[in-house]
Amino acid sequence: MSQLRVLVTGGGRGIGRAIALCFAREGAKVVVAARTSTEIDAVVAEIAAAGGQGLAAQMNVRDRGSVEAAVWRATQFTGDALDVVVNNAGVFEPRPFRELDQETWERHLEVNLRGAWYVTDEVLDALEDGERPHLFNIASTAARQGFAHNVAYCASKYALRGFGDALREELRERGVRVSTVYPGATDTGIWDGVPGDWDRAAMKRPEDVAAVVWEAYRAPDGEDVADLDVP
């Protein structure tokens, strides 16, 4: 098999960074996409320092034009095809329902759901031209269970789960595998500033999620990788 070609959104930190570095260690060419240029530049520098190949592609998943431009850069780097795309960009802003304003509600839907649609729509041709193409949507246990103070987050992640379920049925005959990943609480910067007494030392690590994604990609054809829990 030729060199893997990978695109990870939200790749500048946390789970996205861990996934990008995991695939880079396995020899993949990795496009690291996110809004903050300093963060994605730092991840690409880590990849290069380890002898890998990476590209920083600034992308705001709320902006269709930004997504289109970043995907164009990505495919120029990878040779017009992608083997793995990871929809990881997301927001998490807990607040009681009575304090949930329209801007926060819409931000969750735009980033966690519409962003995945924008990215998937833009990469699909390149993905179908890849080898054993695989699309991953990073959801959450909040896509299966409701949590107080997380109406917007749960709604967006439940919808992302449905997006993946329907897309899997549609893309199966075209040879594209679609997986939804359900991490529990994971110790990333997304918790910085979230009110509450959180035992972050007891949370999962971003590398735990990355390992699940890598193993699912490596899984033989025919193995069920539709819904992926993080042990």
Residues acting as catalytic residues: 153
Measure CA of the first residue to CA of the last residue in the chain; give whole Å.
Answer: 29
What is residue 132's DSSP assignment? Answer: S
- Adjacent-strand bridge partners of 32: 8, 56
Residues 63-91: b if buried by 16+ CB within 10 A, e if exposed: ebebbebbbebbbebbeebbbbbbbbbbb
| Residue 76 CB-half CA count within 13 A | 9
Write the CB contacts of 145 (distance below 8 Å, at least 6 apart in sequence).
Answer: 154
Residue 152 one-letter amino acid = A
SS3 of residue 180 by DSSP: strand
Distance CA 46, CA 228 (A): 27
